[in-house]
């Protein structure tokens, strides 16, 4: 019977990978339409129904572009760096429970790939690996803009990783487990956002920095660095960075759903639908922020991370612990 389990796993992998990448590709279109709405424009609405075929048009265009490798670039690292970004984003999804699970032919099929008992640590660890993609891309391009972008990316993502992890500590304390399944189960009564609003805010801001989205897109700041770490990339390698960034947005959205919004739990609708709805909240907030906020200066960004977010996250942990001692 091991064979059946293997087949089910493969089917699940294919379905989730396909859905994730498709959703990420469509997120590009959703973002352009939403951003246009925020700026009282229309956005891409020509290809297909309301421009719904725009992602495929972009994909065809990007596939047909020449794959340039600049002179003096470290070819192997240059070619591998986009894969690191995309893969680390996709790997994060392995531990995320995205549904209730069902019984098929007498077998229990859980709606997740693996229930690691250190799932949260795995998430924090893997999301840090994405920094390697940024840094290596910036370094191997043999270009000043790319190098500056890579350095900024490293500094920013490492410092915001800290507040990301700290903002999740109260969640672990309340759920009593590092397993994402247990964390979702612990939110059966109420989602953690009701008792951890500060933690959610810190998580959200760190998420923006993690996904290097505006206002925290210092590593790729178009106005000063042209494209930052992916200045020298073209064709599908650039596309891989792009897709990786949007997959990252979705994965961070799913993490926010799991840690703060109660995962797939919700009334009336099936679990997967609730999960997708909750996942899309964070990308919407990120797009809204992109429309609303200007990019801070580099030192302001670091100062905000180290002098504001991390102390607040620490105070949040202590306050949560104290309240749990008093009432729990």
Partner 1 sequence: MTRNKPNIWKYSLSAVKGIYDAYAVSMINFLRKPVTEEYPEYKRPLPERSRGRIILTRDPDGDERCVACYLCSAVCPTSCISMESAEREEDGRRFAIWFRINFARCIYCGQCEEACPTLAIQLTPDYEFCQYEVLDFVYEKEDLLVDHGGRHPDYNFYRHAGVTEKGDKGAHPDEEEPVNLKSNMP
Is 42 near partner 1 (CB under 8 A)? yes
Report the alpha-carbon distance of residue 76 to residue 137 in Å, rounded: 11
Task: Please identify, using beta-carbon distances, which residue of 63 and 292 lies nearer to partner 1.
Answer: 292
Report the alpha-carbon distance of residue 2 to residue 276 in Å, rounded: 30
- We find the least distance from the C-beta atom of residue 304 to partner 1, in angstroms, to be 10
Report the alpha-carbon distance of residue 138 to residue 72 in Å, rounded: 13
Q: Return the residue of 22, 68, 293, 303 that touches partner 1, per CB under 8 A.
A: 293
Report the alpha-carbon distance of residue 85 to residue 242 in Å, rounded: 9
Interface characters, 211-250, with partner 1 (x: CB under 8 A): ----------------------------------------
Task: Please identify, using beta-carbon distances, which residue of 47 and 236 lies nearer to partner 1.
Answer: 47
Task: Please identify, using beta-carbon distances, which residue of 128 and 289 lies nearer to partner 1.
Answer: 289
Is 292 near partner 1 (CB under 8 A)? yes
What DSSP element (H or E) covers 167?
helix 144-175
Contact between 65 and 234 under an 8 Å Cβ cutoff? The reply is yes
Encode 41-77: b = buried (16+ Cβ within 10 Å), e = exposed: eebbeeeeeebebbbeebbeebeeeeeebbeebeeee
Near partner 1 by CB under 8 A, which window of 32-40, 78-86, 123-131, 185-193? 32-40
Q: Return the residue of 9, 13, 22, 37 that touches partner 1, per CB under 8 A.
A: 37
Three-state SS at 109:
strand
Is 52 near partner 1 (CB under 8 A)? no
Is 65 near partner 1 (CB under 8 A)? no
Site for partner 1, rule CB under 8 A = 34, 36-42, 288-289, 291-293
């Amino acid at each position: 019977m091991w064979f059946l389990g293997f087949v089910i796993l493969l089917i699940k992998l294919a379905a989730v990978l396909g859905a994730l990448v498709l959703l990420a590709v469509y997120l590009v279109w959703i973002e352009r339409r939403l951003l246009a709405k925020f700026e009282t424009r229309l956005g891409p609405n020509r290809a297909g129904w309301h421009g719904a075929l725009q992602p495929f048009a972009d994909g065809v265009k990007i596939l047909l572009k020449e794959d340039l490798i600049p002179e003096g670039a470290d070819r192997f690292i240059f070619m591998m760096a986009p894969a690191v970004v995309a893969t680390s984003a996709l790997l994060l999804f392995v531990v995320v429970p995205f549904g209730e699970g069902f019984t098929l032919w007498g077998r229990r099929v859980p709606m997740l790939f693996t229930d690691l008992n250190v799932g949260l640590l795995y998430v924090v660890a893997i999301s840090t690996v994405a920094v390697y993609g940024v840094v290596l891309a910036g370094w191997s391009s043999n270009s000043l803009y790319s190098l500056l972008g890579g350095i900024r990316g490293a500094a920013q993502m490492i410092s915001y990783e800290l507040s990301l992890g700290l903002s999740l500590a109260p969640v672990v304390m309340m759920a009593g487990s590092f397993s994402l399944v247990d964390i979702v189960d612990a939110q059966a009564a109420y989602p953690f956002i009701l008792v951890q609003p500060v933690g959610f805010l810190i998580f959200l801001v760190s998420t923006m920095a993690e996904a290097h989205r505006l206002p925290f897109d210092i590593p790729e700041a178009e106005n000063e660095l042209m494209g930052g770490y992916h200045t020298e990339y073209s064709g599908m390698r650039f596309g891989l960075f792009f897709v990786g960034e949007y997959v990252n947005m979705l994965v961070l959205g799913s993490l926010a759903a799991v840690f703060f919004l109660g995962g797939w739990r919700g009334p009336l609708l099936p679990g997967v639908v609730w999960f997708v709805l909750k996942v899309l909240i964070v990308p919407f907030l990120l797009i809204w922020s992109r429309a609303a906020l200007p990019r801070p200066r580099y030192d302001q960004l670091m100062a905000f991370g180290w002098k504001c977010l991390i102390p607040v996250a620490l105070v949040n942990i202590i306050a949560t612990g104290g309240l749990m001692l008093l009432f729990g």
